[in-house]
Structure 1
Amino acid sequence: MRDRILTKVQATIGFISGVTAPKLVNHKRIHTPRDVIEDIRELYGVEISYQQAWRARERALEMLKGKPSEGYKQMPRYIWMLNKVYPNSYIRMQKTEDNKFMYLFIALRPLIRGFDYCRPVVVVDAAHLGGAYKGTFVSASTLDGAGCILPLAYGVVDTENDCSWTWFFENFKNAFGERENMCIVSDRNESIIKSVSIVYPNVPHCACIWHLWKNVCSSFKRSKKTLSDIFYSMAKAYRKEDFDKLMAKVVKVDHRVKDYLEEAGYEKWSRVHSTINRGRMMTSNIAECINGCLVDARKLTIIDFLEEARLLFGSWNYKNREIASYTKDTLGRRFEEILIVNASKSSKMKVVPSSEYIFTVHEAGKRYIVCLERKTCTCGRFQHDEIPCAHAIAVLKHKNVTNLHPYCSDYYKPYALEKTYEVVMVPMPDKDDWNVPEYVLDEIVRPPRYRRLAGRPRKRRKKNADEKITVNNNCCGQCGQEGHNRRTCTFFPKED
């Protein structure tokens, strides 16, 4: 009888979910069904199937986080509490005629205030949600005076299309307005380009050079290794003469690349041809960084995901605010380091004055002209970076000027950095302490129209046909390019 009973010992899904739930409280902790099987075997000596472990894990997540549809029902309460904790914020939600969730836009007051003291360069990007319902997380961000990420606005839309991006930019314009010398930086998404032209007709759209070069590689496979360094040097060039020299090298390798880049528009990706000053934001890496920090949170329910995003931005706000409190007599961290590097380079330069403001600087056999009144240098760095280059610092040392801050942009100064984080991002109360009026509780919000299909969700983005690059490691031994070998190489022909 004892052997018969011990061999029939089983564990129910309810029991397994109770054991597994404490290990799933932290959403960043990876605890797979295989781990559940191992835990039950080691603790109780019971074998369970993979399907039992998977169902128990899903039930444990539902016990902790609730059903995915419940998050949308709680959306009015959450928005009301955000407006109460962060007054004067700009938060908007749009539903369908049958009260199904469509779009959400959140711009908190501390982030709105900080944008007034930063360079008006906005980086936007999107990332797919991994929960039970389909959706796309969209965000807009910029860099503060210390070179740190400052999130501006975020939200959730159904997918990346013309309607959703136009709605996002319209609300962004209502919250932040339109500033002088403003620009939008993103990948070459057609919906973003079209929406920017509609909502901001006077604001240029700039392309992320990394995404642009990725498109070039997908179109011209043989040139990706040879031209990579040349392209990035060309995009970040400070003088048109340097740009033209690098472009001539591109033409020698593959003239089709020049035609593609010219069709894309030099002013959209080249620093020297840009109609506005983008500063040091040549890519959309800061938006990609936000998406990377929230990659695990995107699998949560909608309310938990939005709260994780708010907590992330709040932690960044506190750290950057603390750094700003230490910065009293120096520039922001990144730009103070640039000044130190430029000062070390200026020690070996010779300065010849021409007038009170115009000087000639000799460096390694080359001649540069610096104008302190206009804050320009023929090397291009002084006017583009808005910080004294090595030649300008050499001139200032020649004039015995020790304070370099008057020749730097106001965005980099301690006052602007302090004002950026003047408004504190206070914490939100616990959900059990939310006191919400009855009219807010009566508002109906249903889940989106489309639910994610059954089965294991994709972890990687599905690439378009033009993005799929065939892997070919064979290359020419003479020139190092792909697509041919030593015998058929045309760059280094055989000698007779």
Structure 2
Amino acid sequence: MQASSTVIGNYLIDDFRFMSTDRSIPKEIVHKAHTNLGVNISYQKAWRAKEHMVKILHGDIVESYTLIPRFFDKLVESNPGTCTALEMDDSGHFSASIKGWKYCRPIISVDRTFLKCKFVGILLIASSQDGNNQIFPLAFAIVDSENDASWTWFFEKIRSSFSERANLVIVSDRHLSIPKGVLRVFPDVEYCVCTKHLLSNLKLHFKDPLLDKYFFSCAYAYIVEEFEYHTRCMESVCLNIRDYLSSVGFEKWSRTYSRRRRYRIMTSNCAESVNSVFKDLRELPVATMLCSIRDVLQKWFYERSKAASTMKSYLTYWAENILRLEHEKSRRLLVDPISTTEYQVTDENQQFIVKLNVEC
């Protein structure tokens, strides 16, 4: 018994209507065609059946590109202040992201993911973190490939949409095109590398189970003495690791030597987390995917705005909780004044000098 990919797609479409696209894989269609229809089909036919279902459910992949200008027009019409750009390929920025950026920490994490539709492409993502320690999506772009031109164009659109900001830091993995684009567009910005990606690169050259512990202790150290101590620990198990990390630049991955405040953001995790949220959309036609991203952002911003309206203080819930925990820990400290701005703080068997007139 034989059946065309169109017939199979039409018959099985209800089975996939409410599934994520990642689960609608050809091998599952092969299985359902055999189980439900009693026919054996090839992987290629199953793939064509899947494309047919995607077309019915989410629109034609080719025609989707022609819908992008109209989508951008409607996006701007319904969200005044939204910035969009279309140059051979496409990108868009949500107005709530632009308005909320000034309340975020001046750190942008960037990441990318591969699209899985017929014409593939790359989805570029930029995110930050707001005052409540929540991931705050800033910008998205669809480009043909990941290269110098694509990243430079993306950063140019970010600058034109959000303007420049003092003491800005941009964090990413070590793809060579990213720092090139950052330096071309933001010459005064501090470019830093994601500590998790750097650790993954380290593990290609150094093999020791203690490396993770020592490296992160080193990356998150505040003072030089602490940094040097953990560096020596790394050197004790991984010979020449200091030279490798020095070649990267201590200021690019360590809190001790950073020339800008890092606000506890040492990785590109927030951009990668946004990437993970949208992973099921990568097989959709681009206009449908952009519309789905907009729907998610609209829901996030509404829920956060609603939660913010119930706040009773200037501090966010996250910040208040941090202060509460720190206050509890401070109750065991013994504080002796040295002057009006200098104090000796004793924590069990450790002593520290705290100077309140010194900027960190």
Q: Give the TM bin, normalised by the shorter chain.
A: over 0.9
Q: Distance in 2 between matches of 1:129 and 1:356?
A: 59
Task: Report how far residue 54 of structure 1 moved.
Answer: 4.5
What letter matches 2:64 in structure 1?
G
Task: Report how far residue 329 of structure 1 moved.
Answer: 2.2
Classify 1:32/1:107 alpha carbon distance in 2 versus 1 (closer, same or farther; 3 Å): closer
Aligned to 1:184: 170
Deviations 1:351-401 (A, max 9, x none): 212233332211112222234455x6xxxxxx4xxxxxxxxxxxxxxxxxx
Matched, 1:250 2:234: yes
Aligned to 2:9: 17
- In structure 2, which of residues 239, 258, 279 is the aligned counterpart of residue 295 of structure 1? 279
- In structure 2, the residue corresponding to 1:271 is in which secondary structure? coil
Aligned to 1:74: 67
Classify 1:123/1:36 alpha carbon distance in 2 versus 1 (closer, same or farther; 3 Å): closer
Give percent identity, aligned residues only.
34
- In structure 2, which of residues 149, 170, 178 is the aligned counterpart of residue 163 of structure 1? 149
- In structure 2, the residue corresponding to 1:238 is in which secondary structure? coil
- The TM-score normalised by the length of structure 2 is 0.92
Matches within 5 A, 1:258-273: 258-273=242-257
Q: Distance in 1 between matches of 2:187 and 2:169?
A: 11
Classify 1:175/1:215 alpha carbon distance in 2 versus 1 (closer, same or farther; 3 Å): same
Which stretch shows the higher mean deviation, 295-304 or 11-20? 11-20
Conserved 8 A contact 1:34-1:50: no
Conserved 8 A contact 2:34-2:40: no
Aligned to 2:338: 354
- In structure 1, the residue corresponding to 2:167 is in which secondary structure? coil
Matches within 5 A, 1:321-400: 321-329=305-313, 331-374=315-358, 383=360
Q: Which has the higher contact order (CA 8 A, sep 6+)?
A: 1
Which stretch shows the higher mean deviation, 62-71 or 163-172? 62-71
Task: Report how far residue 338 of structure 1 moved.
Answer: 2.0
Unaligned runs of 5+ in 1: 1-8, 96-101, 377-382, 384-496
Classify 1:57/1:366 alpha carbon distance in 2 versus 1 (closer, same or farther; 3 Å): closer
Matched, 1:87 2:71: no
Conserved 8 A contact 1:138-1:157: yes
Which stretch shows the higher mean deviation, 126-135 or 320-329? 320-329
- In structure 2, the residue corresponding to 1:299 is in which secondary structure? coil
Q: Distance in 1 between matches of 2:166 and 2:30?
A: 60
What letter matches 2:150 in structure 1?
S
Conserved 8 A contact 2:122-2:146: yes
Conserved 8 A contact 1:91-1:105: yes
- In structure 1, which of residues 35, 49, 53 is the aligned counterpart of residue 40 of structure 2? 49
Higher helix share: 2
Classify 1:152/1:54 alpha carbon distance in 2 versus 1 (closer, same or farther; 3 Å): closer
* Matched residues, number: 357
Deviations 1:124-164 (A, max 9, x none): 11111011002000011100001001111111011111111
- In structure 1, the residue corresponding to 2:240 is in which secondary structure? helix
Task: Report how far residue 59 of structure 1 moved.
Answer: 2.0
What letter matches 1:351 in structure 2?
V
What letter matches 2:228 in structure 1?
D
Aligned to 2:98: 112
Which stretch shows the higher mean deviation, 60-69 or 233-242? 60-69
- In structure 2, the residue corresponding to 1:164 is in which secondary structure? helix
